[in-house]
Chains A and B, each alone.
Chain A
């Protein structure tokens, strides 16, 4: 509920409130530390969730905020994963600089692709992103001498984080590492969506027709966010490489591109934490359900997806926050 503001001071305060860290957010970041003590056997799953959540947040920036529908974002995730892996094979196993370099590389590729992306919309946009994703996956498959092809990239050797924390078998370092990457990613994404730039992205999503009429170079805005998103997706892929010390073609697959969109729809688009929630639900469901029945677990995701789309059009987080607002009067 927003109260009417009649002075400019009220307006300043209202805008500040929109960008403030909420108690729910703080509670969330404390809660994600629980697996260290309570579910240590699930730490590997927890890191997978954190990595996927970072990937989902990167897609939320383009899909949820800027309204660019994409079915090919695994392209950047996979490129980042391979870049990080190849870097260690070339003899540089320092993880943090590996993340930065992989992110810069995928951001550069994102920038190049963005010139094509901002020229099309709707179905054509879906087909372009889908096509680029498939092309990249097939390219990696055919460049077996470089990528290891279907066997995956073997012999990835990552040095300890800060030259001190070895990636251990139990996954403590991996989870801490993935969680830190997610936190930095979300903090960066938060800053972007609460800037004047983030506001203009919402403008593009809300009404593309009006943007030129207020003098907006909206295509350039979309290129910038697409580039940032590609870089963030690449970093997520690089984190996967560092924590698992292997890269497979699966990181570039269409399945990954499609799954991340499903996660966003489940959790709710355009709210960052919806991406995280969606990733968590999806990954936990997959883990639990595929134990019961490895072949048909997607049935339940399909069912959940339909229920959410029908009854919570703003996703589970959107539905929850609506419920909270109603309870709070």
Chain B
């Protein structure tokens, strides 16, 4: 049994009378490639918000490498190695990808507050930023303003920013949201090429992508875990067909 990197234990959250997380307990072992699926409104993004600290749970615990982080601020969790990306681009429109990634690296290294040191003196950070951008096929766009990048490139930058924090656990909230089908396969091939010991949980609606890239699938329905299993089991499960695949035709 490999080491559990991230675990939620009976995490609960309600907005008024609406239960958006009902005793959610999941475990991600090191190097996981788990997909989180479920119909719209199942609470997938909410679960990511709870795990990363954008939302505070009403009950339950969240453990990162066995350490209780339930009440840690968002930034503290990131510094411990738990990073997410956003379904809706959450970028720095007037910065270039180079600047954005260098900034994230300097923040990770605790050098961001050194106001007396020229940015150009952070040579290692600039080299590392290039390496990350090249890995995400953004090297040619490194010095173009983010707001002028094509949407697909912006989705890649969303991931590049997360990688710059050197995550041990990476939560990808619909990385291919809004990207045309042919481009989304390319995007997932980039994700697939990430280091093997990085623990990844991703939300995705396209079932062919889910079945190709996920080693395990968590099915979330109405705030609760309906099933957690390997792709073949999920594919043949009648409940999943009914609640998820049935309603997913709208996509």
Contact = CB atoms under 8 A, between A and B. Distances in A.
Interface in A226-268: 228
Contacts of A216: 75, 107, 112
A194 B145 CA distance: 17
Given A5-B143, A214-B107, A228 B115 contact: yes
Contacts of A10: 142-143
Contact of B126 (A11, A194, A215): A11
A214 B143 contact: no
A196 B161 contact: no
Given A206-B92, A214-B164, A4 B144 contact: yes
B83 to A, nearest CB: 7
A195 B126 contact: no
A19 B119 contact: yes
Residue in A10, A199, A207, A221 whose Cβ sees the most chain B Cβ within 10 Å: A199
A293 interface: no
B91 A16 contact: no
A328 to B, nearest CB: 17
A200 B107 contact: yes
Given A15-B119, A19-B119, A2 B143 contact: yes
A41 to B, nearest CB: 40
Nearest to B127: A8
- Interface size classification for chain B: 35 or more
B140 interface: yes
Interface in A2-29: 2-8, 10-12, 14-16, 18-19
Contact of B120 (A7, A15, A213, A215): A15
A282 B123 CA distance: 41
Interface residues of A, number: 43
A215 B75 contact: yes
Contacts of B118: 19, 191, 194-195
B8 interface: no
Contacts of A11: 98, 126, 129-130, 142-143
B113 interface: yes
A7 B140 CA distance: 8
Contact of A12 (B95, B115, B126): B126
A191 B94 contact: no
Contacts of B145: 2
B130 A197 contact: no
A235 to B, nearest CB: 17
Interface in A185-209: 191-192, 194-200, 202-203, 206-207, 209
Most chain A CB within a 10 A radius of its CB, from B120, B122, B144 = B120
B108 interface: yes
Contacts of B162: 213-214
User: Which of B118, B119, B129, B130 has the most C-beta atoms of chain A within 10 angstroms of its own C-beta?
Assistant: B119
20 contacts: A4-B142, A7-B139, A8-B130, A12-B126, A15-B99, A194-B118, A195-B116, A195-B119, A197-B114, A199-B102, A202-B92, A207-B92, A211-B75, A212-B74, A213-B52, A213-B75, A213-B86, A220-B113, A224-B113, A225-B115
